[in-house]
């Protein structure tokens, strides 16, 4: 019954970590496990190779905005990879949730990383510009109006010649089964006392198919498929 229900997006599926009253210790452990889990499911290596490394290999200074950074695992990983290149990567990582920024700020400092509790709207109004604007697993959290707003902000935030790449999950029965089976053996060990498994399954139910995301996106945005069960919503340079 549940798998047949995946034919339609479930915008009411609840992710516990979005609840302001959720257990703070479990939330912190969830943030701490994101780097491990996202190494498998987020497609961050492909994001770096396709959209960031070519710019760095020219020796350029690249300014990147990470939207909805959570525990900041994505920008920290990108900065580690970028350290091998001739160019310089500078990342502004933003999240409106003070709990996320507090967790990320409590980690060991990293050169090139700036954390801000703010929104894309506030940055766009301030005239900020970036060569690359990215997010990971943010789109499925958004209501239609919020999705339109963050995409409009992204267009304003991208500098000439830049690109916006919002990566997310592609909803499918296969992806749901794979995540459920792949995380089950670790529920009592690596993922214990975190929201990773329950929220991950809810995220898949909330996420879009390629056709749904194409229909929801405004003109100028294009949907690209990735592995495993990935989508990228892209605007700007090809």
What are the domain boundaries of the chain? 42-171+207-236
CB atoms within 10 A of CB 41: 20
Over the chain (238 residues), the average pLDDT of each successive run of 10 is 74 94 97 92 93 96 98 97 97 97 95 98 98 96 95 97 96 91 92 95 95 95 90 90
**Which residue is listed with tokens 């994101």?**
34
Would you call the peptide bond into 17 cis, given omega within 30 degrees of 0 as the criterion? Answer: no
What is the rounded distance in angstroms from the CA atom of residue 217 to the CA atom of residue 92?
Answer: 25
Residues 6+ apart with CB under 8 A from 21: none
Q: Which of 18, 167, 160, 140 is nearest to 78 (CA)?
A: 167
**Which residue is listed with tokens 């969830």?**
30
Task: Name the β-bridge partners of 89.
Answer: 62
| Domain 42-171+207-236 in CATH 3.40.50.150 | yes
């Amino acid at each position: 019954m549940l798998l047949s229900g995946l034919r339609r997006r479930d915008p009411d599926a609840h992710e516990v970590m979005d609840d302001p009253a959720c257990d703070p210790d479990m939330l912190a452990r969830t943030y701490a496990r994101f780097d491990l889990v996202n190494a498998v499911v987020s497609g961050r290596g492909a994001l770096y190779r396709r959209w960031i490394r070519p710019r760095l290999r020219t020796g350029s200074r690249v300014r990147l905005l990470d939207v909805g950074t959570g525990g900041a695992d994505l920008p920290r990983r990108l900065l580690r990879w970028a350290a091998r290149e001739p160019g310089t990567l500078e990342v502004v990582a933003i999240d409106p949730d003070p709990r996320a920024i507090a967790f990320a700020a409590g980690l060991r400092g990293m050169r090139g990383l700036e954390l801000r509790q703010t929104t894309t709207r506030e940055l766009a109004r301030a005239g900020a510009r970036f060569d690359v604007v990215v997010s990971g697993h943010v789109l499925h959290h958004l209501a239609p109006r919020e999705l339109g707003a963050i995409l409009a902000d992204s267009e304003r935030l991208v500098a000439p010649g830049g690109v916006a790449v919002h990566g997310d999950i592609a909803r499918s029965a296969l992806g749901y089964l794979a995540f459920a089976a792949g995380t089950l053996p670790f529920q009592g060990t690596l993922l214990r006392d975190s929201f990773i498994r329950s929220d991950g399954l809810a995220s898949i139910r909330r996420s879009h198919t390629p056709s749904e995301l194409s229909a929801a996106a405004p003109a100028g945005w294009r949907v690209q498929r990735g592995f495993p069960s990935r989508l990228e919503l892209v605007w700007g340079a090809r």
